């Protein structure tokens, strides 16, 4: 399932710089708004394909439903779809801390929320942190520790993601 165009590190670094520039431009266009930067946590060289795009679209719809429920209007939505991954930036008229709490809950309750990467930036551009660190897909330890130490192979991680995607898409 994680078949598709392989992406090299230079392209990922350029995408990160472009995302930061887009966030900054959106922040300046909408002062006082919080920003949501959404993508998927997908290890390995393939960052998007039809199945991952469907997951991205489901995740974005879920985020918008959460914001609707909180009555926080989206004043601008930018989407970017490239081989480096699917991304969205939303400028939201609402409290950044409440948005972060809702985003964290979504990441923890959606069947594939563990694959969501929902960053929330306050009106000053500061990225808000999760109260509880993410858990590893494979062993349940803190994900950052496993990633930093390269405890698990990319193949093992992508195999687990493939299993999760297959189960989700068959529902």
SS3 for the chain is CCCCCCCCHHHHHHHHHHHHHHHHHHHHHCCCCEEEEEEECCCCCCCCCHHHHHHHHHHHHHHHHHHHHHCCCEEEEEEEEECCEEEEEEEECCCHHHHHHHHHHHHHHCCCHHHEEEEEECCCCCECCCCCCCECCCCCCEHHHHHHHCCCCHHHHHHHHHHHHHHHHCC
CATH of domain 9-132: 3.30.70.260
pLDDT value of position 163 = 93
pLDDT value of position 1 = 59
pLDDT tens profile 25-60: 999 999 999 999 999 999 989 999 999 999 999 999
- What's the whole-model pTM score? 0.92
Q: Which residues of the chain have pLDDT under 70?
A: 1
The residue ranges of every structural domain in the chain are 9-132
Q: Write the CA distances from 139 to 25, 66, 86, integer angstroms.
A: 39, 29, 27
pLDDT value of position 132 = 85
């Amino acid at each position: 399932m994680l078949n598709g165009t392989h992406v090299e590190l230079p392209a990922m670094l350029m995408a990160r710089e472009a995302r930061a520039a887009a966030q900054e431009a959106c922040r300046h266009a909408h002062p006082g708004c919080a920003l949501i930067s959404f993508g998927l946590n997908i290890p390995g060289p393939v960052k998007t394909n039809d199945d991952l795009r469907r997951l991205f679209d489901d995740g974005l719809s879920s985020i918008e439903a959460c914001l609707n429920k909180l009555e926080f209007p989206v004043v601008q939505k930018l989407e970017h779809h490239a081989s480096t991954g699917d991304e969205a930036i939303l400028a939201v008229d609402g409290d950044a801390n409440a948005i972060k709490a809702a985003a964290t809950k979504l990441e923890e309750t959606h069947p594939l929320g563990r694959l969501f990467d929902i960053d929330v930036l306050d009106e000053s551009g500061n990225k808000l942190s999760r109260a509880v660190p993410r858990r590893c897909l494979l062993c349940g330890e803190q994900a950052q520790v496993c990633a930093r130490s390269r405890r698990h192979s990319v193949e093992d991680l992508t195999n687990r993601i493939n299993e999760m995607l297959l189960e989700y898409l068959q529902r």
